[in-house]
Structure 1
């Protein structure tokens, strides 16, 4: 089950990244004269929804990961190893922050009254979410894990 979840989490990562790149592209191109519209809103909802899916998969991985379970048995030693510390203390915190920032962005965009304000709110909050997510990705691990 753990290997299946890990593979699914890895594949979902690429969907989230693609959605994020598309969303930021939509917002930036909107700042060049196009009005923030329903396609932009859908892109934000897709990104936020995929972040939620990734969060659920990540929580399931966190509780079933042999690496995390072993590290929790000796937290002091786990903190001495940078890769173990990354998954036990850094990865999930940054990813949770990315999800929260995406939801704040979605809410702020929804509440904004004019198109320019919507675009600015989207760029700020979704941009911060993307930055947090990029910091939290373990780039040293295989980029495509299929089993």
Structure 2
């Protein structure tokens, strides 16, 4: 396996946005897309972050970079990045300054059926009711 270490970033949109943009609500599918991107390059996925408008300078994004544990950030697409961090431009500039690549997987988004939306809704709305997310 390649020694390139990847942190996947998905956006975490409110469940109320499910009908408008189900992919951005479904952080699991976003992470699957990032995982596939990393696997296709034989990179090692080391961290998965699900964020909603986090400050681009937040320590949660940079502590592993500063420790030398991250080589690449990957996001599913630009739209996800714009919703994961408060400023995609600031985050991109910080990545460049830190010498960490920022990549977008840009794979095809799934087409959500009513059943898929229902599954996402159930998974996100009942995490403490014993539903295991499967």
- Please indicate the TM-score interval, normalised by the length of the shorter structure: under 0.3
The structure with more strand, counted as a fraction of residues: 2
Give the structure with the larger helix fraction.
Answer: 1
TM-score by length of structure 2 reads 0.26
Between structure 1 and structure 2, the one with the greater Rg is 1
TM-score, normalised to structure 1, is 0.24
